[in-house]
């Protein structure tokens, strides 16, 4: 796997930060495969409740620019987020490979727009129960990505 890989990690920011510890662990694991352009998503010091450093237009433009530069998108989609859905949609429109990680929870279903987009290669959704499973899932997906 090339260390030149540029990875866009997507996780909920304003939609809820309940999974920040999971995001951090995923990002730390992804760093062995390349550069994580959106490392701030797993940063506990980023507080979306206080006045943002950037205005909305700047955030949008920065993130779209990073999507354009990335080789793939890895998204943790357990916490519903309009922003993550938007990022995934933009990535698909840019023909970027997308890998979504989802932790099934009683009484909650992943959006059919995400689950139904899974084609087994350029757009893949994988369920997991514990973050300890994620390193192997990432390894398998990034190996698949290398073969596309």
**133 vs 10, 68, 88, 102, 140, CA distance in Å?**
18, 29, 22, 12, 11
CATH code, 26: 3.40.50.450
The annotation status of 117 as a binding-site residue, yes or no, is: no
Tens-of-pLDDT digits for all 148 residues of the chain? 556 899 999 999 877 778 999 999 999 999 999 999 999 999 887 766 555 678 889 999 999 999 999 999 999 999 999 999 999 999 999 999 999 999 999 999 999 999 999 999 999 999 999 999 999 999 999 999 888 7
Number of structural domains the chain divides into: 1
pLDDT at 55: 87
Domain with 17 in it = 5-147
Tell which residue, 98, 108, 55, has the closest CA to residue 78.
Answer: 108
The annotation status of 112 as a binding-site residue, yes or no, is: yes
The annotation status of 87 as a binding-site residue, yes or no, is: yes
């Amino acid at each position: 796997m090339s260390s030149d890989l540029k990875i866009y990690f997507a996780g909920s920011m304003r939609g809820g930060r309940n999974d920040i510890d999971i995001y951090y662990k995923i990002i730390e694991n992804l760093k062995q495969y390349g550069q994580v352009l959106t490392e701030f998503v797993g940063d506990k010091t980023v507080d979306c409740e206080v006045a943002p450093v950037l205005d909305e237009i700047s955030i949008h433009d920065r993130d779209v620019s990073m999507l354009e530069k990335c080789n793939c998108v890895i998204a943790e989609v357990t916490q519903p987020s309009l922003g993550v859905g938007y990022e995934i949609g933009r990535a698909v429109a840019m023909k970027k490979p997308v890998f979504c990680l989802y932790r099934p929870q009683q009484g909650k279903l992943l959006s059919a727009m995400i689950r139904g987009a899974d084609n087994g290669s350029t757009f893949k959704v994988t369920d997991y129960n514990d973050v300890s499973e994620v390193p192997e899932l990432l390894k398998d997906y990034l190996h698949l990505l290398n073969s596309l």
